[in-house]
Homo-oligomer: A and B are copies of this chain.
Amino acid sequence: MDATTEALQDDAGTFPHLDRDTSNCSIARTLEVVGEKWTILILREVWYGSSRFSEFERVLGCPRNLLAARLKMLVEEGILATETYQEPGSRSRPKYVITPKGADLVPAVMGLLQWGDRYRADPEGPAMLSRHRGCGAHVDAQIRCDQGHAVQPEDIESIPGPAFRLRPAE
């Protein structure tokens, strides 16, 4: 940890957050990849079991050109990978499967899912439920610290990290 970072961290809570350079924000960078329309919904369908172009098209009702563009981007980003499948009597064709990098998006998507379940579900409840395979208990996304404590949003402290930078003067 360099001296600048150290100094800023000592000042945690009162660091100059309004003057920081926000171009290297991890939230913004994740949204550059998954923030476009259809992208997260494609991933949702992957974990519900779809893998073929025609399946995504059918269940999402999304334009083919956008679907092709999003799938291509997800493969280029390493979130999906292509494999091949072959129906009897047909030639082999590509299908899309999740990679470990893609699976690491699950906590974020679970977070969106459970917020929608809580605040925007139909009166009778959610359309889909998630449970732990085997134990069968309901699962959800939650925040924990490395000591194993459950953490409430108001007990999260955000402090400058190693790549913290101030905005260049205008």
User: Which residues of A does B touch, CB under 8 Å?
Assistant: 17-18, 20-22, 24-35, 37, 40-41, 44, 47-50, 55, 58-61, 101, 103-122, 124-135, 137-147, 149, 151, 153-165
Contact = CB atoms under 8 A, between A and B. Distances in A.
17 contacts: A21-B127, A26-B120, A27-B41, A27-B44, A27-B116, A30-B112, A33-B120, A35-B35, A104-B115, A107-B142, A125-B161, A125-B163, A127-B160, A129-B161, A132-B151, A137-B149, A138-B145
| Stoichiometry (number of copies) | 2
Given A18-B58, A108-B141, A140-B143, A135 B149 contact: yes
Nearest to A138: B146
A37 to B, nearest CB: 7
